[in-house]
Amino acid sequence: MSRTRSRVLFERALVMPEDLNPWRTIGFRLLLVTILLLCLTVILWLDREGLQDHADNHISFSDVVYFAMVTITTVGYGDIVPITPRARMIDAFVITPLRAFVWVMFFGTAYQLALKQFTEGYRMAKLKASLEHHTIVCGVGHTGLAAIKELLAKGTNPEQILAIDIRDERVRAAVELGIVAIRGDATHEAALQDAAVQKAKALIISTGRDDTNTLILLTVRQLHTDIRILVSAKESENVKLLKQAGANTIITPASFGGCMLAASVDSHHLAQYLQDLITAGGRIDLIEERVQAQDVGKTAGDLLPDVLLRVYRRGHIISLRDLQGDERLNEGDMVLLLRQPANHD
């Protein structure tokens, strides 16, 4: 069950939507500065009569390129100077604003390349302070990404979802959905603590490897004993082990998919109905909730148009047969309901 941890702690990084492609941003800045230099060179060349070279009193094209470079990046050396009113106006109202703009670009690039690492701690601390009662997704493969999309479709605030993955491309895929992600190894306590796991309400583990899932599960249980943990198991034989390790819910996508396929052999609409039942935007919702105060003492028939499917009471399941009789809801019951969404007639 052990696994080599290929990422060390200092390689953890917080990734937000604005961080998707810093090198593309840097490349764009360099291209923009190059275009500005070319434009300035053309302007100065057309007005070269307004410049004077103290070295030889002759302005060549190389002198113009040199003057454009040193004046846009510094205040110049004084060897070439504007001598006509128009050249001085160009220097005042064209070159000086461009110089300020280029310096802002340079500082932005320096931040992108070097200074950002010094602000990482501040951003991480600010994120941890803002997170509470959130959902963490460890592993953003096909299953994890689908879970994030479904959470968003069901109305979960993107700020209440945080993803952790060790692969850059998976982190990028999560951030493109508008959530914050941490590039790091979720088997390390530090990565989970950065995600404020102690304040989270739920954790989804879907790394694609049952040994990694188990290691994350055990690590999380040491940090937060009450958090709800949902695990995707690749192999059915590992379900028992994951349950013993402390998972609240274990889903085996392969087994579930196989059951759906088998059920569809003789049923034309069953698979479509089940998918409609559990996904956002369907014509009917499957709801699990604690019984409302106004519903205490009611029977299944009193809840119409909601359809009461099951009642969970102090660890016991109230059967559908009992629900069709005189069985009444008690305070503290958990109920499973079929409910038609408000946006569907």
232 contact partners, CB below 8 Å, separation of at least 6: 139, 143, 144, 204, 205, 206, 213, 250, 251, 252, 253
- Predicted local confidence at residue 147, as pLDDT: 94
Whether the pLDDT of residue 8 is over 60: the answer is no
- The per-residue pLDDT of the chain, averaged, comes to 84
Instruction: Render pLDDT for 118-151 as a digit per residue (tens, 0 to 9).
Output: 666 677 788 888 899 999 999 999 999 999 999 9
Whether the pLDDT of residue 287 is over 80: the answer is yes
- Predicted local confidence at residue 304, as pLDDT: 85
> Which has more confidence, 305 or 22?
305
- Predicted local confidence at residue 105, as pLDDT: 72
Residue 9 binned pLDDT confidence (cut-offs 50, 70, 90):
very low
Most trustworthy range by pLDDT among 10-19, 41-50, 92-101: 41-50
Whether the pLDDT of residue 39 is over 50: the answer is yes
Q: What is the share, in percent, of the chain residues with pLDDT greater than 70?
A: 86
> Which has more confidence, 225 or 285?
225
Q: At which residue do the structure tokens 């499957």 appear?
A: 286
Q: 236, 241, 185: which is closest to 9 by C-alpha? A: 185
Instruction: Render pLDDT for 167-222 as a digit per residue (tens, 0 to 9).
Output: 988 998 999 999 999 989 999 999 999 999 999 999 999 999 999 999 999 999 99
Instruction: Render pLDDT for 66-123 as a digit per residue (tens, 0 to 9).
Output: 888 888 877 667 788 888 888 888 888 888 888 888 777 777 666 555 556 566 667 7
pTM reported for the whole predicted model: 0.63
Helices in the chain by DSSP H: which ranges?
22-46, 61-73, 85-90, 96-110, 116-130, 142-153, 168-175, 189-194, 210-223, 239-245, 253-263, 270-278, 320-323
- Please report which helix (H) or strand (E) contains residue 334, including its range: strand 334-339
Whether the pLDDT of residue 2 is over 50: the answer is no
Distances (CA, A) of 129 to 168, 196, 197: 25, 8, 12
CA distance 149 to 125: 26
Instruction: Render pLDDT for 238-262 as a digit per residue (tens, 0 to 9).
Output: 999 999 999 999 999 888 888 888 8
Whether the pLDDT of residue 20 is over 90: the answer is no
Q: What is the share, in percent, of the chain residues with pLDDT greater than 90?
A: 34
